[in-house]
């Protein structure tokens, strides 16, 4: 495969999925200007905002993030989001290949509630993503409010 199933990627993925590990995001980047080889280029524990701040406007990248939110004062939900990032300065041929190659990455990072195609960091607004997760999850305890 493209490197999405490399041991360090799978280890980071498992850490993000674990309730016991503080790591809550990862980013996969292309190893070179050509080809489909991916490498783990970042991880962290600062959530969606930190992931967004580590995306590169000149690259296509893939992100995976754990998002926690409260339904009410008594409960907390944990959901996972897959991000396909195409920065505004990404080369045309790389952009064209992402639609094909993202499927391979999704097969490895396969447990997610929603997938987001992001072109701008504003596409990764946490309030909007939580609202989408609530809609995708069925029960909405806030009457549709994010």
- State the average pLDDT for the chain: 91
Give the pLDDT band of residue 133 (cuts 50, 70, 90): very high
SS3 for 75? strand
In this model, does residue 141 exceed pLDDT 70? no
Domain ranges for the chain, please list them: 7-137
- DSSP H or E run through 68: strand 60-72
Q: 39-75: b or e for each residue (b if 16 or more CB lie within 10 Å)?
A: bbbbbbeeebeebbebbeeebbbbbbbbbebeeeeee
pLDDT category at 5 given cuts 50, 70, 90 is very high
Cα separation, 53 vs 7, in Å, equals 25
Helices (H), 1-146: 7-17, 47-53, 92-108, 126-137
pLDDT tens digits along 89-108:
999 999 998 988 999 999 99
Please check whether the domain covering 7-137 is classified as CATH 3.40.50.450.
no
């Amino acid at each position: 495969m493209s490197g999405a199933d490399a041991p360090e990627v799978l280890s980071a993925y498992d850490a993000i999925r674990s309730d016991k590990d503080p790591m809550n995001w990862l980013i996969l980047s292309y190893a070179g200007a050509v080809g489909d080889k991916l490498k783990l280029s970042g991880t962290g524990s600062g959530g969606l905002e930190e992931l967004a701040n580590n995306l590169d406007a000149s690259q296509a990248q893939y992100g995976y993030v754990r998002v926690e939110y409260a339904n009410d004062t008594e409960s907390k939900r944990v959901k996972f989001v897959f991000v396909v990032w195409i920065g505004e300065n990404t080369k045309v041929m790389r952009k064209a290949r992402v639609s094909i190659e993202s499927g391979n990455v999704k097969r490895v990072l396969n447990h997610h509630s929603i997938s987001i195609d992001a072109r701008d960091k504003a596409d990764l607004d946490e309030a909007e993503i939580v609202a989408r997760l609530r809609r995708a999850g069925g029960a909405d305890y806030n009457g549709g409010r994010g």
